[in-house]
Amino acid sequence: MSMSPDEIRTILSDVIDPNTNKKLAANMKHSVIHVNDASVSLTLALGYPIHNGLNAIKQPIETALGAHGLSLGQFECALRVETHAVQRGLKPLPNVHNIIAVASGKGGVGKSTTSVNLALALKSQGARVGLLDADIYGPSVPMMLGLSGKPESRDNKTMEPLVGHGIEANSIGFLIDPDSAAIWRGPMVSQALEQLLRQTNWGDLDYLIIDMPPGTGDIALTLSQKVPLAGAVIVTTPQDLALADARKGLHMFRKVEVPVLGVVENMSMHVCSNCGHAEPIFGVHGGRDMAAEFNLPWLGTLPLAMAIREQTDSGHPTVQADPHSEAAAMYQTIANGVAIQVAKLPRDMAGKMPPVVVKP
C-alpha cells in the first residue's frame, strides 16, 4: 500500500540538509509531494538557491525513502527564502526578506565590485535581489550597473528603484550630479542612507545587498546599528594592512550583534593578461587564515584580473558579461555560500507572533 503525502513529509522531516546541517522539517510545509505506488515525486522548498548542490541534497532523501521501500522519482528544488532575524530593537523591512551588508575595514579592496557581482550571481541563481549603494562619498554602483537618471517618485514621498541587469538599485549617485562632491557631515550621511533604504519602493526581494562605506567610522557604525541586517560579509585582500582593518570591521559587526556570514579574499592572485601567470602580489591565504582565526565560513577567493575591472567599469560586471568564465564561477560559489549561511540563521519570528493585548 502506498503512503500518503503527509506520511512522506514525516519521513523526510528528519533528513539532514548537508548544506545547512539542519533538518528538513521546516522545508516540508511548503514542499509539494506526489505519490504513485512506491515512487515519490518531490518539489523541495529550499531557503537558498540550490546552484550545483542538487545531488548532495538528493542522496540523503533517496536514502530515507529507500529505508521505507520507496524510490525518488521526479525531484526538483523551489526557492523559498525565509526572513531571518535582525538586531534587537529593529524589524525587517516589509518587502525585503534579508539585508546583507558587504563591508571592508578599508577602501580599495574591491568591495563594490564584489557587491555587484554577488547580487548578479544571486539573481542568476533564481533569487530576487536589490542593491543599495551606501557609499555616499564615492557611489560607484550606478556606473557598475550601467545606470543613469533619477529615481521616479509617484507620490512625492517615496522613490522607485532603477533596474540594471535585473537588479533593483538605488544610490546617492542617482540623486546628485556625477561631478559634484557630497560634502556632508556624518549625521547628514546617516540620515540620507536611511532615507534611501526606507523610502525606496523595493519589490518583494529575497536579498538586498548593501555596499557599505569603507572603514569602521561613525557612518559605518551607525548604519550597522540602524539598518535591520540579517548578516554581513567581510571583503579583504591577503595584505596584512587590509587584514588588520578587516578585523576592525569584523569586531564592529560583532559589537552590534550582526552575524558575520563569512570572509571573501579579493585580489588573492594577480593574473597576467598576456601569459596567464598568477602571482600572489598581496600575500598568500590572509583571508583564509583570518576566517579560521575567528571560526568564520571561508567563502572563497577572487583574482586581481584586468577583465574583471574592464567589465565592471563598462557597466557589465563579470557575472553578467562573461557568465561562463572562471571568475564568474568564483562569484557564483561565493554567492551560494552566502545564501546558505543566511539560511542557517534563526528565522524572524517577531512578525509571526500575535500582538500582546493587555486588558484592564
Q: Does 17 have pLDDT greater than 90?
A: yes
Do 319 and 229 fall within a single domain? yes
* 176, 224 Cβ separation under 8 angstroms: no
Residue 355 domain-assigned (yes or no): no
Per the CB < 8 A criterion, the answer to whether 291 and 298 are in contact is yes
Asked if the structure places residue 316 within a domain, the reply is yes
Q: How many CB atoms lie within 10 A of CB 214?
A: 23
CATH number, residue 17: 3.30.300.130
Distance of alpha carbon 284 from its chain centroid, rounded? 26
Phi and psi for 279 in degrees, rounded to 5?
A: -135, 130
Same domain, 128 and 24: no
Among 101-105, 174-178, 210-214, which is the least confidently predicted range?
Answer: 174-178
* Euclidean distance between CA atoms 94 and 32, whole angstroms: 27
Rounded to whole angstroms, the Cα distance separating 327 from 302 reads 7
Does residue 118 have a pLDDT over 90? yes
Question: Could you give the CA distance from residue 124 to residue 195 in angstroms, rounded to a whole number?
Answer: 28
**Does residue 154 share a domain with residue 206?**
yes
Taking 80 as the threshold, does the pLDDT of residue 219 lie above it?
no
Annotated binding residues for ATP, written as ranges, equal 105-112
- Give the separation between CA 357 and CA 116, rounded to whole angstroms: 44
Report yes or no on 356 lying in a domain. no
Rounded CA separation 45/26 (Å): 9
Residues 333 and 184 reside in one and the same domain: yes
Q: Residue 138 carries which side chain, given as an amino acid letter?
A: G
Q: Could you tell me which residues are annotated as the binding site?
A: 105-112
Domain match, 178 and 254 both: yes
Q: What is the pLDDT of residues 146-205, one digit of tens each?
A: 999 899 999 988 999 999 999 999 998 887 766 555 555 656 777 888 888 999 999 999
Question: In this structure, are 33 and 112 located in the same domain?
Answer: no
What average pLDDT does this structure show over 54-78? 94
* Residue pLDDT, tens place only, 70-98: 999 999 999 999 999 999 999 999 999 99
The better pLDDT of the pair 104, 164 is held by 164
Q: What is the rounded CA–CA span in Å between residue 254 and residue 275? A: 43
CB atoms within 10 A of CB 97: 22
* Domain edge (last residue) among 79, 113, 145: 79
CATH classification of the domain holding 176: 3.40.50.300
Please give the residue that has the higher pLDDT: either 203 or 245: 203
Does the pLDDT value for residue 216 go beyond 70? no
State the pLDDT confidence band at 134, using cuts at 50, 70 and 90.
Answer: confident
Q: Is 358 domain-assigned?
A: no
Q: What is the mean pLDDT of the chain?
A: 88
- Domain match, 43 and 113 both: no
Q: Which three cell numbers stand for residue 74?
A: 521526479
In this prediction, residue 93 carries a pLDDT of 94
Query: In sequence order, what are the residues at sequence separation of 6 or more whose Cβ sits closer than 8 angstroms to the Cβ of residue 43?
Result: 31, 32, 33, 75, 76, 77, 78
Dump the DSSP string for 69-110: T-EEEEEEEEE-PPPB--STT----TTEEEEEEEE-SSSSSS
Share of the chain above pLDDT 70, in %: 91
CA–CA gap between residue 122 and residue 208 (Å, rounded): 10
Instruction: Determine what percent of the chain is predicted with pLDDT higher than 90.
Output: 62
Secondary structure class of 35 (helix, strand, coil): strand
User: Is 352 among the domain residues?
Assistant: no
Same domain, residue pair 40 and 106: no
pLDDT digits (tens, 9 = 90+) for 323-358: 999 999 999 999 999 999 999 999 998 756 555 555
Is the pLDDT score of 101 beyond 70?
yes
The residues, any chain, with a CB within 8 Å of residue 223's CB and separated by 6 or more, are 101, 134, 190, 193, 210, 212, 213
Residue 101 and residue 51 share a domain: no
pLDDT value, residue 109 = 84
Q: Which of 79, 111, 138 is the last residue of a domain?
A: 79
Please indicate, yes or no, if residue 360 is contained in any of the structural domains.
Answer: no
What is the radius of gyration, based on Cα positions, of the chain? Answer: 22
What are the pLDDT digits (tens) for 247-274? 888 889 999 999 999 999 988 777 777 7
| Count of domains observed in the chain | 2
Measured between alpha carbons, how far is 137 from 183 in angstroms, rounded to an integer? 8
Residues 175 and 312 in one domain: yes
Q: Tell me whether residue 89 is in a domain.
A: no
Kindly state whether residues 59 and 158 are assigned to the same domain. no
Asked whether residue 210 carries a pLDDT value surpassing 70, the answer given is yes
> 259 and 139 in one domain?
yes
Range of the domain at 60: 5-79
